[in-house]
Amino acid sequence: MLRNGSPPRVILGIGGGIAAYKSAELARILIQRGYKVQPVMTAAAMQFITPLTLSTLTHAKVITHLFSERGDANAILSSAVEHIDVALENDLLLVAPATANLLAQFAHGLAGDFLTTMHLAFTGPVLLAPAMNTNMWNHAATQANLRLLRERGYHVVGPDAGDLACGMVGAGRLAEPLEIADAATALLDGQNDLAGETILITAGPTQEAIDPVRVITNRSSGKMGYALAANAAQRGAKVILVSGPVALAAPAQVEMVRVESAEQMKNAVLHRLPEASVFIGVAAVADYRPANPADQKMKKTASRLSIELEPTADILAEVGRLKGDRIVIGFAAETQNLIAEASRKLNAKNCDMVVANLVGGNGTGFEGDENEVLLVTRDAEPQAVSRAAKSVVAAKILDRIPGLRLAAHAEAR
């Protein structure tokens, strides 16, 4: 496979775990697929497999140290920036096995060796194939690190469950090399399919002031919108993310516009809409706001309190009115009549697609890390996207953009 005349370039980072031996097979498959593979081994990895094995399979110099071990000044000068060069020259950072220690270092931005330092300079997609003992995998620290990395748009393949080298049975076994290679191929193939698109996304809740210290808001975490932004940016789109207040890290390569209220979100969206070729309204925008927010903090009294609310503008509907030839995608969070409600919103708000999900206590929807949705369009049966990490669901939603554009063109003719 050739891209722009040159093969895709993959950094194969190898962590120090017993599964490191399987990285040899993975390297072989990647080379067979025509990729250029740059192995990078941690010190611990070399306890399990030798650099000679990897260099023989990949025909590349295996990087094992942050600084050149040779003593001459030129070698030291060139090696001082090698982690930057490697980061800039490659299309994908694949880490297999990704140990608990590597996940922790990546999550917290530590840069103690070549792999972790280069990782900070790398701006492309990162695919992690974790492998470790079941208890280490299940540890709250490992799971929290993984959640953080997923939020930032990192891709994760595996681990599988089964017999582990340590004698335990459970989750933690490295995914099969073929499965890891397939995940890498999917990322490399999809990498630039959204190049040329400018995608404007709203995410998170809004906060509507009652007084200077109190707000009306909702439980939206922003995770779905951030996952869409991260995935779109990785696939080459220019992404503008208009976000309400959330506790999430900004995804790499995404332009952030931070807002609080529905009014601010609407103004930010309308300001940036002319440059957008795709709009995705994921935000849980407040439908009402206090009609007369108090200038000073309201004092408690013994009597009941009523707050008069007035409607906010519907941002998605407004974008639908100004649609032009852009693709407009809305979300519908429902507790019942999912398809009927999604279809109604599709038409009422002039959308090309509505992503519908049932909300309510099963770990999907607003606050969870996973989602399960139906993609509702005008001219096709609803497509079910089964329960998966929000990053996976995000990729499936964005996969529909080329088809929606074709359908919109056909309708316009």
CB of 411 to ligand CTP, least distance (A): 21
Q: Under a CB-based contact definition with an 8 Å cutoff, are residues 38 and 124 in contact?
A: no
Residue 228 touches ligand CTP, criterion: CB under 6 A: no
The residue type at 253: Q
Residue 262 touches ligand CTP, criterion: CB under 6 A: yes
CB of 227 to ligand CTP, least distance (A): 15
Kindly tell me which of 55 and 264 has the beta carbon lying closer to ligand CTP: 264
Binding residue for ligand CTP (CB under 6 A) from 113, 197, 208, 314? 314
CB of 202 to ligand CTP, least distance (A): 6
Spell out, one character per residue from 274 to 293, where the chain touches ligand CTP: x when CB under 6 A holds, - when not.
-------xxx-x-x------
What distance in Å separates the CA atoms of residue 233 and residue 194, rounded to the nearest whole number? 8
**DSSP annotation string for 43-111:** TTGGGTS-HHHHHHHH-SPPB--SS-SS-SHHHHHHHHTHHHHHHHH-SEEEEEEE-HHHHHHHHHT--
Kindly tell me which of 170 and 293 has the beta carbon lying closer to ligand CTP: 293
What distance in Å separates the CA atoms of residue 311 and residue 263, rounded to the nearest whole number? 11
Spell out, one character per residue from 330 to 359, where the chain touches ligand CTP: x when CB under 6 A holds, - when not.
xxxx-----------x--------------
How many residues line the site for ligand CTP (CB under 6 A)? Answer: 16
Binding residue for ligand CTP (CB under 6 A) from 62, 316, 398, 404? 316
Whether the link from the prior residue into 177 is cis, omega within 30° of 0, is no
CB of 266 to ligand CTP, least distance (A): 8
Kindly tell me which of 141 and 348 has the beta carbon lying closer to ligand CTP: 348
In sequence order, the 6+-apart residues with CB closer than 8 A to the CB of 275 are: 198, 200, 240
Kindly tell me which of 56 and 335 has the beta carbon lying closer to ligand CTP: 335
Token pair for residue 212?
A: 């200077």
Stretch that binds ligand CTP, among 55-63, 127-135, 311-319, 396-404 (CB under 6 A): 311-319
Task: Check 43, 75, 76, 166 and give the catalytic one.
Answer: 166
Residue 10 touches ligand CTP, criterion: CB under 6 A: no
Kindly tell me which of 314 and 352 has the beta carbon lying closer to ligand CTP: 314
Backbone region of residue 198 per phi and psi (left: phi > 0; alpha: psi in -120 to 50; beta: other values): beta
CB of 122 to ligand CTP, least distance (A): 32
CB of 316 to ligand CTP, least distance (A): 3
- Asked about 351 being catalytic, the answer comes back as no
CB of 283 to ligand CTP, least distance (A): 5
Kindly tell me which of 174 and 319 has the beta carbon lying closer to ligand CTP: 319
Q: Report the chain's terminal Cα–Cα distance, integer Å.
A: 36
Q: Under a CB-based contact definition with an 8 Å cutoff, are residues 346 and 330 in contact?
A: yes
How far is residue 212 from each of residues 165, 209, 257, 292, 311, measured CA to CA in Å?
Answer: 58, 7, 22, 12, 20
In sequence order, the 6+-apart residues with CB closer than 8 A to the CB of 241 are: 201, 203, 225, 226, 229, 250, 251, 254, 255, 256, 257
Token pair for residue 127?
A: 């695919």
| Dihedral sign computed on CA atoms, order 155, 157, 161, 167 | negative
- Residues of the shown chain interacting with ligand CTP in the complex, contacts defined by CB under 6 A: 202, 262, 281-283, 285, 287, 312, 314-316, 330-333, 345
Active-site positions?
A: 166
